[in-house]
Amino acid sequence: MGKLTKKRVEEAIRASHGVLAVAARALGVTRQGLYAAIQRHGLEGFLREVREEILDDVEDRLIQAALQGKPWAVMFVLKTIGKERGYTERVEQVSLEGVELKVVDG
């Protein structure tokens, strides 16, 4: 297994794209052991940054798919990023004379 140096932990986190189970296996430790090493070396911010980089890359691919007109991507972007403009499926509850009705759009 070897010592879990800061450098080894960083390399495993980066190689696994922040998936701790994968990084732990590569280091020959449990996820709990890896998490303890992350805390010991103060790498929580590093882990968040690696995961944010992955999200940025995937988000870019999603946007590119939407711009290419792929319907699944267009719908997803509108339902998430476009929700502030009203592109959302929502459930509304209204009450008529004490009787609760559920109206479902979408």
Position 41 scores a pLDDT of 97
pLDDT at 34: 98
Mean pLDDT by 10-residue block, N- to C-terminus, for the chain (106 residues)? 88 98 98 97 98 97 97 94 84 66 62
Q: What is the model's pLDDT at position 86?
A: 86
**pLDDT computed for residue 94 by the predictor:** 63
Helix/strand/coil (H/E/C) assignment for every residue in the chain: CCCCCHHHHHHHHHHCCCCHHHHHHHHCCCHHHHHHHHHHCCCHHHHHHHHHHHHHHHHHHHHHHHHCCCHHHHHHHHHHHHHHHCCCCCEEEEEECCEEEEEECC
